[in-house]
Amino acid sequence: MSEIEDSNDENTVREEEAVENDEFEPVQVFPESEEMDLRPGSDDCYKCSTCDTNCPVAQVDDEFPGPKFQGPEQWRLKRKEDHDIDDSVMSCSNCMRCDDACPSDVPLSQMHNTARGEYVESQMEKLSQEYIRNRILANYRTMAELGSKVPRLTNFVMGLGVTKLFNEKVLGITSEREFPDFAEETFREWWSDRGGPKVRSEDKRVAYFHGCYSNYNTPKVGKAMVRVFESFGYEVVVPKQRCSGTPMFANGMLEDAKRAAGINVENFSGLIEEGYDVIASCTSCSMSLRQEYPELFSFDGTASVAAHTYEALEYLRLHEDLEAALEAGEVEAGNFAYHAPCHARNQGLAGQPVELFESLDGATAEDVGPSCSGISGTYGWKEEKYDASMQIGAEMFDHMEEAEGEVGMTECPTCAMQMEHGTGYEIRHPLEVLEAALVE
């Protein structure tokens, strides 16, 4: 946010006008800061505490002081050198619902990300179980890359009771959850076997950010994305990419995130110059490229990637007559119990399938309400957070059971895990339904 807002900062405009009109000379009170300065955002907080009432963690965890403390208050405290960052920042799940609640546009999640990064960097014991566990969880891609080389063996080993016991006792990863299966063929393997793009176009070009999950675990989502976009005449390219950084931000592993983001920005910003827009099928990936990158990093091209990244359905709605196409289509999919991920909500994308399926015969999506699913990526995988994660999710589970459909739907892979874990429902991605409706 900082970069984009700085470029058209209202204060700059005001100062110039003021000098012209009133010979008013503003005094620079604070020295130019070399590091990220969130003070203006912090000063925008007028302590209404609305963010606290929207925080799913504060609702179930009485030890958690809430986003107002983690954001503006902690920001002030940590400006003084004699104050450590409170370790409760590690209990923030980075759902970002506080951002949506704030009537004063305080960059709460940005403050949380920087505080958490600083905490992990300077206060967390690097040999502790927590650090090692978090580092492993945050770097899911590294684990997945290894595991997916021998998917059947990995799936077998990960499912073993002894593995789960080890994970829980030694690493602090809950044994309550089933590890997601690795696909026998990754999305990228499929893509290269297929010989890359089947459609070439000069003016309709998208670069697909598949993220880790649709590459290693649910390649059917990636394939659906490619086929749907190709059916609309888009040239799809799949550049080399790293993790979007979402799990790294949430675990305060900012150096890891910076490395991954640097590679992603470099690989995608070049394509943007050639007329490609960036498409993500995971709403946390698009959130990361759009908002967290410009808030936290300043590589060349960061702002350009942020401005050119879209979620898949959003992009089609903006550039194609998707509703007409769906009206002509037909599926036998039935009713879905749809959960809007928090990160979709923050991008203004909540409920897209609900709206779109209104024009599609044979599929409806029923919104199961605005609550958080509770898993928040790696959060619900932590042994000590599992119970809170399930308590947060309880409202969504109830609403799913009340909904007519017996199949769940969401755009976020970890929300999908939680939905399945809490209800036993099979969970689909909206792109899979679009593929069934639009692609022969």
Partner 1 sequence: MAIEDDVTVVGGGLAGLTTALSAARAGAQVRLLSHKDSTLRSASGLVDVLGYRPESAAEATAPIVDPFEAISDLPESHPYSKVGESGVRDALALFDEVVGDAYQGSHTDRNALLATHGGEVKPTARYPASAAAGLTSDTREALLVGFETVVDFDAPLVASHLESSGVPFDVRGATVRFPGDFRADAKLTRLADALDSDERVEVREETGSAGYAESLPARQALAEVVKPHLDGAERVGFPALLGQHDPAEVRASLESELGAAVFEVPMGPPSLPGMRLEGKLLGACREAGVRMTTGNPVVGYETAGGTDDDGDRIAAVRVERNGAAIPFHAEQFVLATGGLVGKGIDSNRSGVREPIFDCYVPHPDDRYDWFAAEAFGEHPFARFGVETDDDMRVLDAGGESDFSNLRAAGAVLGGFDFAATKSGAGVSLATGRAAGLAAAREVSE
| Residue ranges in 85-144 that form contacts with partner 1 under rule CB under 8 A | 100-103, 105
Contact 252, 260 (CB under 8 A): no
| Residue ranges in 191-220 that form contacts with partner 1 under rule CB under 8 A | none
- By C-beta, is 196 or 348 nearer to partner 1? 348
CA distance linking residue 146 with residue 134, whole number of Å = 18
- By C-beta, is 12 or 128 nearer to partner 1? 12
Q: Decide if residue 77 touches partner 1 (CB under 8 A).
A: no
**Of positions 6, 9, 12, 24, contacts partner 1 by CB under 8 A:** 24
Q: Decide if residue 320 touches partner 1 (CB under 8 A).
A: yes
- By C-beta, is 54 or 94 nearer to partner 1? 54
- By C-beta, is 106 or 236 nearer to partner 1? 106
Q: What's the CA angle centered on 197, arms 225 and 232, to 5 degrees?
A: 50
Give me 273's structure tokens: 């110059």
Rounded CA Rg of the chain: 22
- By C-beta, is 100 or 256 nearer to partner 1? 100
φ and ψ at 235, to 5 degrees? -85, 120
Contact 298, 321 (CB under 8 A): no
Give me 238's structure tokens: 């799949």
| Residue ranges in 324-363 that form contacts with partner 1 under rule CB under 8 A | 345-351, 355
Q: Decide if residue 4 touches partner 1 (CB under 8 A).
A: yes
Contact 239, 207 (CB under 8 A): yes
CA distance linking residue 247 with residue 399, whole number of Å = 27
Stretch that binds partner 1, among 13-21, 143-151, 417-425, 426-434 (CB under 8 A): 13-21
CA distance linking residue 240 with residue 21, whole number of Å = 53
φ and ψ at 361, to 5 degrees? -75, 130
Q: Decide if residue 294 touches partner 1 (CB under 8 A).
A: yes
User: What is the nearest approach in angstroms of partner 1 to the Cβ of residue 116?
Assistant: 20
CA distance linking residue 297 with residue 288, whole number of Å = 11
CA distance linking residue 285 with residue 107, whole number of Å = 19
CA distances from 357 to 149, 217, 361, 427 (A): 37, 26, 8, 16
User: What is the nearest approach in angstroms of partner 1 to the Cβ of residue 65?
Assistant: 6
x/- track of binding to partner 1 for residues 237-276 (CB under 8 A)? ----------------------------------------
**Of positions 76, 319, 398, 439, contacts partner 1 by CB under 8 A:** 319
What is the end-to-end Cα distance of the chain in Å, rounded? 41
Number of neighbouring beta carbons within 10 Å of residue 218: 24
Give me 88's structure tokens: 């409760």
The b/e string for 373-406 (b: 16+ C-beta within 10 A; e otherwise) is: bbbbbbbbbbbebbebbbebbebbbebbeebebe
**Of positions 6, 9, 12, 17, contacts partner 1 by CB under 8 A:** 17
User: What is the nearest approach in angstroms of partner 1 to the Cβ of residue 291?
Assistant: 6
φ and ψ at 80, to 5 degrees? -90, 140
Total count of residues recorded for the chain: 440
In sign, the C-alpha dihedral spanning 110, 113, 115, 121 is negative
**Of positions 205, 290, 421, 429, contacts partner 1 by CB under 8 A:** 290
- By C-beta, is 54 or 410 nearer to partner 1? 54
**Of positions 143, 303, 407, 439, contacts partner 1 by CB under 8 A:** 303
| Residue ranges in 31-70 that form contacts with partner 1 under rule CB under 8 A | 48-50, 52-55, 58-59, 62-63, 65-66, 69
Stretch that binds partner 1, among 36-44, 120-128, 214-222, 307-315 (CB under 8 A): 307-315
- By C-beta, is 340 or 436 nearer to partner 1? 340
Q: Decide if residue 221 touches partner 1 (CB under 8 A).
A: no
Which positions touch partner 1 (CB under 8 A)? 1, 4, 10, 13-14, 17-18, 21-22, 24, 48-50, 52-55, 58-59, 62-63, 65-66, 69, 100-103, 105, 290-291, 294, 303-304, 306-310, 314, 317-321, 345-351, 355
